[in-house]
Structure 1
Amino acid sequence: MDADHVSLSKRILSIDILRGLVMIIMALDHTRDFFHIGAMTADPLNPETTTGILFFTRWITHFCAPTFVFLSGLSAYLSAQHKTATEGSNFLLKRGLWLILVEIIVITLGLTFNPLYHFIILQVIWAIGWSMLFLALVSRISTKSVLMIGLILVFGHNLFNLFPAPADPDGGLILKIFFTASGTVVPLSGNHLVGIFYAILPWTGIMFLGYGFGAWYKKGYAAERRQRNLLFLGLFTIGLFIFLRLINVYGDPAPRKEYQDFFKNVLAFFNVSKYPPSLQYAALTLGPAILFLALTENLNNWFTRITAVYGAVPFFYYVLHFYLLHALLVVLFFAAGYTSKDIVQIPFWFRPATFGFGLPFVYLIWFCVVASLYLPCRWFKKYKQTHKQWWLSYI
């Protein structure tokens, strides 16, 4: 194997390590949603009511969605290097539409276990799908255009927080869908609802940034220079978060609260808005993620090899973990003494507000679910490496 191939494999390995790590952490939040006693009734990030471990359990998963979306943009750039501009754009269009469809049909069913789809949930896969559609169009212009638009979206979308919402209901709904959604529920009929939890364009900005920084991973780009760039950018982004959080003027729709208690002030400092992903939230999460890429480029040990397995097949893992978690929920639902009259709940069937366990049990379930998916993920990773069917590029 020549030096260029070795360098490229290491670069891809570092991306898979980070992506795998955030996929593992992501499952913790979904496990908490399904199994923690207070998940349906309390805010784990409220400094006034939470505990340190509960805050951390929710807060650490903040790193997952922006890192995954950023890496999706980076991966899209790397994939485009092997295609013509038209081929790359067409693939993004088809994959974007496919992801939106999967979010509505497959992911919603895994989340709710409601075969009648009374509540359709639009989250990160929906946002990624739309972002790929926009990326398919803008990437035809230039990589610099993608990067500039990404910077404008990430740095500028919080300007909408400074102005009142449009009085026109349709205009207000469009604004929520594309910029400000934090839990917008839209009725489709008397008993069918759509929950829009991920505003599209702020996440599109993050994907565009990942695509724009993909040039650092091109074949022939010096590894030492890339690592220096990543190190500087990661530290600068963390510094930007600290600066914005301290001045407390712009970059988050909910300004930082001041408490008399030191511990509550620490929690409040890191309690940034994910829905939609504020500038402060993006800086807090992407800064460490970029640093991680810089520090793991040449890292290869048992832990990184395990995490890279999950990172190599993230969509496969993502779908499976929802269905496995919800299947376990059904078992424990009946084991806890609930009956068929308690099944129908909004948004999740088999998930009454009074159901749940303490955090130690939540962590145990999380570990078991992630561990049980390792062998399926390793099998599918090898399958993708040894098979070339067209549909594999969509999973």
Structure 2
Amino acid sequence: MSEATIAGEAAVSPAHRNRIISIDILRGIVMIIMALDHARDFYSPTLFAPENPEVTTGVYFFTRWITHYCAPVFIFLSGVSAWLYADARNAGKKDLAVFLLSRGVWLVLLEIFLITFLWQFAYLGFTLQVIWVIGISMIILAALVFLPRPVIAVISLATIAGHNLLDSVAPADFGSLSWLWAVLHVPSFHPTQGAGAIGAFFIVYPVIPWFAVMALGYAMGPWFKADTLIRNKRLVTYGVIALVLFLVLRGLNIYGNPSPWTEQARGGFYSFLSFLNVDKYPPSLLYLLMTLGPALILVPWLEKCSGKVGAILATYGRTPFLFYVLHILVLHLGSVAWYKLAWDKTGVLFFMPSTWPEGFQPVLWKAYLAWAIACILLYWPCKWFSNYRKTHKQWWLSYL
């Protein structure tokens, strides 16, 4: 081995030398798919829910449905990465807890003040979405890490499996504390009297059961450092179990999702869409089984993706926060320019149909085009930042 190679290896931090490529690739895949959902929001918003089998089309449904895999897989991998972070640095539980707590607070603040602005180019109200719930889940995990891993696994599985028993509990049942139950389990909008529009909060991602998804990833973290054959056997086995449970529970309509699937008057294809249409807000047991099961099965196969495509996907996966911030900015700026050029209309917000141009009709191919352009453009900043992180050790890099 040459001196240059040895010097290069020494310059790379232990965390990057010990990265598991399948995790980076899987994270990269879900980040790219996530961008498709947001491109659809900005360029092809609809008055109907794309996942509603009574009114949607197959293309719109699956454009939305495939993006269901993004949040649960990313949050699960965040838990895995928390364990790998501590393992790579030989960090104790106290050090890991401090890191998770500080990073969690940082992400919540970024969601409220930065991400909210990027979605709106204004502060019409604060939206608590995926970055916020990742932050809150890290704060909760900071406390859970002091428990034995088997206990964390039990808490996580019990929360994921049992939280649908809480579906009948409404925020109003808590009186003046209704906001607290909304934060915990019920997506809702909370205007604040006397504080103006800036005081409003839209809770999109309640805490339960998302924190349990991250904690489950942490509990399973050591699996990813086990012998390859053992790891792959475990992941495939539990992935298959999750899928079988999904098919059985969904087929019987007995538990695990607030809305049962129904036969559709439009025909068998739309009945199949109804079967797949499980609740994301909050994510039901069946939603998590449907998404995490295939993800676990996919990991062993991704370990074989050592070519150019795998390297490109891993680049996105190593820089998820940068990609997340930049893709919203690029898609939003592009949509502003498009609405201005095509409609001579400014101030268009996809979540406010009253701002849409007169006569506007959604065209899905434009969303796909914008998605492709944004992902291609963002490859180079992601590649640069990935390389920068490999050779630099500043403390703040762990927060991005």
Per the normalisation by structure 1, the TM-score is: 0.91
Counterpart of 1:248 in structure 2 is 253
Q: Which digits, 9 at most, give the CA deviation of each residue in 1:44-89, with x for residues without a partner?
A: 0111111111101000000000000000000001112121111111
Cα offset, 1:142, TM superposition? 2.0
Matched, 1:282 2:282: no
1:199 counterpart = 2:206 = yes
1:222 aligns with 2:227: yes
Note closer, same or farther for the CA distance 1:345–1:295 as it changes in structure 2 (3 Å cut). Answer: closer
Deviation at 1:299, TM superposition (A): 2.6
Out of 342, 350, 364, the position equivalent to 1:359 is 364
Give matches, 1:1-395, under 5 Å: 12-36=20-44, 39-81=45-87, 82=89, 83-114=91-122, 117-163=123-169, 165-181=171-187, 183-187=188-192, 189-192=195-198, 193-218=200-225, 221-260=226-265, 261-339=267-345, 342-343=346-347, 345=349, 352=356, 355=360, 357-395=362-400
Distance 2:291 2:271 in 1: 19
Q: 1:247 to 1:357 in 2, by over 3 A?
A: closer
Structure 2 regions of 5+ residues with no counterpart? Answer: 2-13
Q: Aligned-pair distance for 1:294?
A: 2.2
Distance change in 2, residues 1:163/1:100 (3 Å): closer
Per mean C-alpha deviation after superposition, the further-off stretch among 342-351 and 62-71 is: 342-351
Deviations 1:150-196 (Å, cap 9, x if unpaired)? 11111111111144554333333211211222x43343634232110
* SS of structure 1 residue aligned to 2:52: coil
Equivalent residues of 2:54, 2:264 under 8 A apart: no
Q: 1:359 to 1:300 in 2, by over 3 A?
A: same
- Amino acid of the residue matched to residue 139 of structure 2? L
Is residue 78–residue 214 contact of structure 1 (8 Å, CA) maintained in 2?
yes
State the secondary structure of the residue aligned to 1:97.
helix
2:11 paired residue number: none
CA distance in 2, matches of 1:372, 1:33: 19
Letter in 1 for 2:392: H
One-letter identity of the residue aligned with 2:56:
T
Residue-by-residue CA offset, 1:259-313 (whole Å, 9 max, x unaligned): 2410111100000000000000000000011111122223312211110000000
Deviation at 1:40, TM superposition (A): 4.3
SS in 2 for 1:73: helix
Q: Deviations over 1:366-386 (max 9, x none)?
A: 001001100110000001111
Cα distance change, pair 324–344 in 1 and its aligned pair in 2 (3 A): closer
Instruction: Please give the alpha-carbon distance, in whole angstroms, between the structure 1 residues aligned to 2:164 and 2:121.
Output: 35
Residue identity matched to 2:135: G
Contact 2:339–2:348, Cα closer than 8 Å, also in 1: no
CA distance in 2 between partners of 1:276 and 1:361 (Å): 29
**Distance of aligned partners of 1:386 and 1:170 in 2 relative to their CA distance in 1, 3 Å threshold:** same
1:132 to 1:390, Cα distance in 2 relative to 1, 3 A = same
Hey, which bits of structure 1, 4+ residues long, moved more than 6 A? 8-11
Q: Matches of 1:156 and 1:353 in 2, distance apart?
A: 44
Q: CA deviation at 1:350?
A: 11
Question: What is the deviation of 1:238?
Answer: 0.6
Aligned equivalents of 2:158, 2:299: Cα separation in 1 = 24
* Alpha-carbon distance in structure 2 between the residues aligned to 1:185 and 1:69: 25
AA aligned to 2:347 is I
Change in 2 beyond 3 A, CA 1:325/1:356: farther
8 Å Cα contact 1:14-1:293 kept in structure 2 = yes
The TM-score with structure 2 as length reference comes to 0.90
Q: 2:7 matched to which residue of 1?
A: none
Task: Supply the distance in 2 between the matched residues of 1:186 and 1:161 (Cα, whole angstroms).
Answer: 23
Counterparts in 2 of 1:165 and 1:322: CA distance versus 1, 3 Å: closer
In structure 2, C-alpha distance between the alignment counterparts of 1:164 and 1:311, rounded to whole Å: 38
Distance apart, 1:118 and its partner CA? 2.0
2:10 alignment counterpart: none
What CA deviation, in whole Å up to 9, does each residue of 1:316-361 have, x standing for no partner? 100010011111111112112334xx52758579962754641112
Contact (CA 8 Å) 2:46, 2:362: kept in 1 or not?
no
Q: Deviations over 1:96-131 (max 9, x none)?
A: 0000001011111111111xx121111001001000
Q: Percent identity?
A: 42
Instruction: Give the total of aligned pairs.
Output: 382
- Checking the alignment, whether the CA contact within 8 Å between 1:97 and 1:133 is kept in structure 2 is yes
Question: Is this contact kept in 1: 2:239–2:292, CA < 8 A?
Answer: yes
In the alignment, the residues of structure 2 paired with residue 170 and residue 290 of structure 1 have an alpha-carbon distance, to the nearest angstrom, of 41
C-alpha separation between the residues in 1 aligned to 2:333 and 2:251?
Answer: 44
Gaps of 5+ in 1: none
- The equivalent residue for 2:5 is none
Tell me the secondary structure at the aligned position of residue 274 of structure 2. helix
Rounded to whole Å, the distance in 2 between the matches of 1:350 and 1:137 is 44
1:42 is paired with a residue of what secondary structure? coil
- Once the two structures are overlaid, the 10-residue window that deviates more, 20-29 or 352-361, is 352-361
